[in-house]
Amino acid sequence: MPSSLCTTVPLSNGLQMPILGLGTSHHGGFCRAAVLHALGACGVRHVDTARRYGCEEQLGEAVRTSGVPRGDLWLTDKLWPGDYGYEAAKKACLESRSRMGVDYFDLYLMHWPEAWQPGRSNREVRAETWRALEELYDEGVCRAIGVSNFLVHHLEQLKEDCSVVPHVNQVEYHVYQQPRQLMEYCRKEGIVFQGYCPLAKGQTLGDPTVLKLAEKYRRTPAQICIRWSIQNGVVTIPKSTKKERIEENCQVFGFDLLPEDMKSIGELHCDTKVVHLTFPLWKG
């Protein structure tokens, strides 16, 4: 396995999280062969999934088939809002663990800040759910706990209401979506910033600036975008079910973007999001 794929970032509890991983999704299906290729030929050791994606059982089977020791892997799963609440959250986590066939998750995240419980405040349900995750963390079911898609005010409320500051916050991050204020807050609070959709669902691959740099560095546009994300210290999880794309996405450690090129990509931010939500995520 290339040693570069072992590059990690430290969490506040001392764990080392691989900076590059493979994302999975319910969009496009789950490809067992692609996951096996990522773990085997490509040397990927970080896989991200969620109950919502419906592939926990298949992923667990692929992990076992790969022969990679469990201790060498970083597995992230997520709790869907429909399972928020103290008892429901604990039950859902243990069920996910059972479906995947593992003893523990390396990281377990609340998937969204929206609680979906009419008559109760989002803040109240988030705090109750987070306390369940804190107990799962104390019990060793989850080696680290975090959140996804939380904004600064959500994190501030959680800090006031609970005792463990999230170890990770996973949000949409690519050249067109660079939430710098949120990133700075996370770094100040010791929360590792993780980005999904690093290629903006392919929208960045035809950008003139990205294409120019791809030619300059003799790399693909995808590699330029992923390298830029990693070079910013962001844990990055590109998704693909194609073996050749997974290989391409992993070959991002043999070069560095020059400061002026990092700056030119940074100037592409236009606050564009490619993940469109069907519920009022950003409220409450």
pLDDT at 16: 98
The structure tokens listed for 20 are: 């590059």
173 is catalytic: no
272 domain-assigned: no
| 58 is a domain residue | yes
| Residue 8: per-residue pLDDT | 96
Please give the backbone phi and psi of residue 195, each rounded to the nearest 5 degrees, phi first.
-115, 135
Predicted TM-score (pTM) of the model is: 0.93
Residue 124 lies in a domain: yes
Q: Is residue 197 part of a domain?
A: yes
Among 162, 115, 108, which residue's Cα sits nearest to residue 137? 108
Q: Report pLDDT for 277.
A: 54
Give the model's pLDDT for residue 36: 93
Domain CATH number, residue 243 = 3.20.20.100
Query: Residues 53, 108, 137, 185: which is the catalytic one?
Result: 53
In a domain, 171, yes or no: yes
Give rounded-to-5 percent helix, strand, coil for the chain. 45, 15, 40
The pLDDT value given to residue 279: 44
> Whose structure tokens read 């790969």?
66
Q: Give the residue from 239, 205, 236 showing the smallest Cα distance to 27.
A: 239
Q: Which domain holds residue 206?
A: 3-266
Burial-class residue 232 by CB neighbours within 10 Å (0-12, 13-18, 19+): middle
Binned average pLDDT, 10 residues per bin, the chain of 284 residues? 73 98 76 89 94 91 94 97 96 97 98 89 96 98 98 97 97 97 98 97 94 98 98 96 93 96 97 66 44
Residue 284 belongs to some domain of the structure: no
Residue 120 within a domain: yes
pLDDT at 1 (0 to 100): 43
Q: Please state, in angstroms and rounded to a whole number, the distance separating the CA atoms of residues 129 and 95.
A: 16
- The sheet carrying 145-148 orders its strands as 22-23, 46-48, 74-79, 107-110, 145-148, 168-172, 192-196, 235-236
Q: Looking at the 3D structure of the chain, how many domains does it have? A: 1
| Any domain includes 277 | no
